[in-house]
Amino acid sequence: MNSRFKDKYYDKLTYVNWKGQINHPKTFIIEDCDELEKVNYLMARKFDEDFDDKIINKLYDEL
């Protein structure tokens, strides 16, 4: 709670999409950018540069 984001504290700080998944969360791809921009979390899981590095590059560039 020493973070400058302490006022945005939620029970879960990491966004994970389990919709339609059974054993593991969805791996985000470039088409998921709108979804990630709409949610109110500090972090998201999961990304894989071997699966889609475009989304990682886009998010990095926007930081």
The 10s digit of each residue's pLDDT in 48-63 is: 999 999 999 998 898 7
What are the C-alpha distances in Å from 34 to residues 4, 6, 15, 20? 25, 25, 14, 18
- Find the mean pLDDT for residues 14-20: 91
Q: Which two tokens stand for residue 52?
A: 């889609």
pLDDT greater than 80 at residue 3: no
Q: pLDDT at position 34, please? A: 92
Q: Which two tokens stand for residue 31?
A: 């088409």
Q: In the chain, what is the straight-line distance between the N-terminal and C-terminal CA atoms, in Å?
A: 22
Q: Can you say whether the dihedral through the CA atoms of 36, 40, 43, 44 is positive or negative?
A: negative
Q: pTM of the prediction? A: 0.73
pLDDT greater than 60 at residue 1: no
CB atoms within 10 A of CB 51: 12
